[in-house]
Structure 1
Amino acid sequence: MTDLASRRPVNAPDDQAPPQHRGFSTVLRGLADGDQERVSVGSILSAFGDRAFGALLLVFALPNALPMPPGTSAVLGAPLVFITFQLMIGRGVLWLPAFITRRSMRREDFRTLANKIEPWIMKLERLLKPRFGLLTTPVADRFTGAACFVLSIILTLPIPFGNMPPAATIAAFALGMIESDGVAIGVGWLGTLISVAILVALSTAITAAVSNFAEPVMRLFGV
């Protein structure tokens, strides 16, 4: 498979553009249409090169923003915690342990997933563009990483329907990082506030429900 993460020499011709100038959907299609039997996390990491943080955040967060079987958020949320922590502390190059990079899926399954999300990604790419650079600087990325780290922890909590808002918010942050779009980053910050508010509301409701159930039981047993 062509190494999409290779860097272009200083005087290389324009047709050898580096991967950071290619849209997410273009790189995603290249991975889906490759000739290898399986697509691993490591191959995704290599394909996106300098944009690996944003790309892998999107890859792991986007499925959680959709209706998925119970337990999916716990499986996909764990790598997100690992990735967002490195983004938060300002690590320049994303590192993942071998047990994560070796995880893979059949290319047919990856292509099916790509076919489903590619139209949406392409629509978003037409709206996204480099702007409001103050929100996409290395310092700003640390704050983005901190927000995504908190969201990824919320994502792993066993809260009914509580994984979709933080997953969608991480996806917004990821798209903003990939396309250097401060507007998308701003949407991510708005989503962070909404996700935290939803978590507080759900926690309060669950606590009240447990309390209302436990109180008569305790009276019944004279506690």
Structure 2
Amino acid sequence: MSLSATVPERRMSLSEILTDLCDETHAAETLGETLQRFGRRSFGVLLFIFAAPNMLPLPPGSSTFLGAPLVLFTPQLAAGVRTPWLPARLKRQALDMGRLRAAFARLIPRVAQVERVSTARLTFLFGPVGDRVIGAVCTLLALVLMLPLPLGNLLPATAISLFGLALVQRDGILALAGYVMAAVSLSVLALAAGVIHRLLAAALSAF
């Protein structure tokens, strides 16, 4: 038996995937071709790709540009879809990493640091039920991410990024961290909504 038949091919880590995506040789690659390379880990990779850049300073409107794909993908994860579905038009869309390359260059070293201490653990948090719960939570966070709130995208982006990395690594500790960050994010949103409501009520009562 040949060595190639006995040794499974090593899977690329998320940091390696991001480094590969930042290579300019992939400038002409379509989004559909990119998804095929990710395989079963597509959802985790996509969550991270479109959420993590929002943790860094970006031009106005970037959260809407990055949040829109999340609103498409996260409900599919919540519905139990095994691999992401894309309309044919989006599958043919060329992958434009130009505006994201600088952000990923800053994120890759941090991801690599997490990967060195991360491993598959608490895997009961994943699977048919666990993945759907993560998808449902991320769907809500993706909607929050698209709201035009000052600095309002940092916490939901962090939570979704943690869930994405957790799905890739099958690391339940990262998933738990994602749930904690999601709770903090939604609590801050509720608090902000309450403050805005009181301010509007006070302003209306003054007339």
Code of the aligned partner of 1:180: R
Count of matched residue positions in the alignment of Structure 1 and Structure 2: 203
Quote the residue 2:123 is aligned against. Answer: 133
Shift of 1:81: 1.0
Cα distance change, pair 103–156 in 1 and its aligned pair in 2 (3 A): farther
CA distance in structure 1 between the partners assigned to 2:102 and 2:183 by the alignment: 33
SS at match of 1:105: coil
Code of the aligned partner of 2:18: L
Quote the residue 2:204 is aligned against. Answer: 214
Higher relative contact order (CA 8 A, sep 6+): 2
Quote the residue 1:80 is aligned against. Answer: 70
Shift of 1:198: 0.5
CA distance in structure 1 between the partners assigned to 2:42 and 2:115 by the alignment: 17
Quote the residue 1:12 is aligned against. Answer: 5
Normalising by structure 1, what TM-score? 0.83
Segments of 5+ residues of structure 2 without an aligned counterpart are none
Aligned-CA RMSD value: 2.0
Shift of 1:111: 4.4
Task: Note if contact 2:15-2:112 (Cα within 8 Å) is conserved in structure 1.
Answer: yes
CA distance in structure 2 between the partners assigned to 1:67 and 1:135 by the alignment: 32
Segments of 5+ residues of structure 1 without an aligned counterpart are 1-10, 218-223
Code of the aligned partner of 1:65: M
Shift of 1:99: 4.0
CA distance in structure 2 between the partners assigned to 1:63 and 1:179 by the alignment: 19
Shift of 1:131: 0.3
CA distance in structure 2 between the partners assigned to 1:69 and 1:115 by the alignment: 17
SS at match of 1:48: helix
Give the number of the structure whose alpha-carbon radius of gyration is greater.
1
SS at match of 2:39: helix
CA distance in structure 1 between the partners assigned to 2:29 and 2:110 by the alignment: 21
Quote the residue 1:91 is aligned against. Answer: 81
Quote the residue 1:22 is aligned against. Answer: 12
Code of the aligned partner of 1:183: I
Q: Does 1:58 align with 2:48?
A: yes
Q: Deviations over 1:28-61 (max 9, x none)?
A: 2223336243454334312211100000010000
Shift of 1:65: 1.9
Task: Note if contact 1:132-1:181 (Cα within 8 Å) is conserved in structure 2.
Answer: yes
Q: Deviations over 1:66-106 (max 9, x none)?
A: 22222221221111011100000101121112443415215
Task: Note if contact 1:44-1:56 (Cα within 8 Å) is conserved in structure 2.
Answer: no
Q: Deviations over 1:120-157 (max 9, x none)?
A: 11011112110001112221000111110111111112
Normalising by structure 2, what TM-score? 0.89
CA distance in structure 2 between the partners assigned to 1:59 and 1:116 by the alignment: 13
